[in-house]
Amino acid sequence: MPESQTVFEEDPLVAPQFDDLDQQNDADTLGMWAFLGTEVLFFGGMICGYMIYRRLYFTAWHSGSMIVNNFRFLGISSGAWNTGVLLTSSLTVAIAVRAAKIGQRRVLLWMLAGTWVLGATFLGIKAAEYTHEYFEGVMPGISLFHPDSEISADLATAAKGPKREPALIDQFRLFWVFYFFMTGVHAFHMIVGLGLFAFLFIQAYCRRFTPEKHMQVEIMGLYWHFVDLVWIFLFPLFYLVR
């Protein structure tokens, strides 16, 4: 069909199945939201399990949360610092999307780079936290209840103590499985995000984006904001609620 080929070549911005650019852009946004919906339920399942066991094993959860929130920089919990870092990165993403829409290439490049640095900062703080928790002896399967750790001794005392809570160690272990799994899956999303934003930066550097063709930035921006949203809920659940 030579006619349809001509149409396609005339307007490489719009794929042949769409009427116009607006329809294509709306479809892009909608598709991303469908994916984000599955992500909401993916994290929702873990949050649901966390809430049930928090009710069941409140003492263990309370102790775990105290340890998580005890790692501080300048007197402020590392989780609060990380929330600030991620909220700031959401601002830089929002400005980057806006810059892509109106064709401000320099602003776009700076904001993409800024987002990348903030994302890396988040992971750096998280890595410091994990290291701290490793040496505290609470990492399941690797350092959990190392015979030398103080927590191990405390829990052993508790199990033999007047209250007789022999299951407390297992409950405490479960808290740390939830903690490392949920923050770990979130950190994995951050790593994917860093890859995507490095890709966007290269694309922007090579002048691939124009005001008409900016949807890649917008869609990746939605992803980044979503990862921020997940952290907005993980932060109170693990650090603040006791």
25 binds other proteins (CB under 8 A): yes
167 binds other proteins (CB under 8 A): no
Site string for other proteins, 27-66 (x = CB under 8 A): --xx--xx-xx--xx--xx-xx--xx--xx-xx--xx--x
Q: Which two tokens stand for residue 31?
A: 């598709």
- Go through 189-218 and write b for each residue having 16 or more CB atoms within 10 A of its CB, e for each that does not: bbeebbebbeebbeebeeeebeeeebbbbb
H helix or E strand, kind and range, residue 60: helix 58-69
**Considering only CA atoms, which of 113, 91, 85 is closest in space to residue 187?**
85
215 binds other proteins (CB under 8 A): yes
Q: Binding other proteins by CB under 8 A: which of 151, 187, 196, 220?
A: 151
Phi-psi region at 75: left, alpha or beta (left = phi > 0; alpha = psi -120 to 50): left
Q: Report the nearest approach of other proteins to the CB of residue 2 (Å).
A: 31
Kindly indicate which of the ranges 79-87, 118-126, 179-187, 188-196 contains the residues binding other proteins, using the contact rule CB under 8 A: 79-87
Q: How far apart are CA 77 and CA 97, in angstroms?
A: 31
Kindly indicate which of the ranges 5-13, 114-122, 195-203, 222-230 contains the residues binding other proteins, using the contact rule CB under 8 A: 222-230
Q: How far apart are CA 189 and CA 129, in angstroms?
A: 18
Which is closer to other proteins, CB of 128 or CB of 202?
128
Which is closer to other proteins, CB of 81 or CB of 181?
81
Kindly indicate which of the ranges 2-10, 119-127, 192-200, 213-221 contains the residues binding other proteins, using the contact rule CB under 8 A: 213-221
Kindly identify the residues of this chain, within the stretch 108-147, that bind other proteins according to CB under 8 A: 132, 136
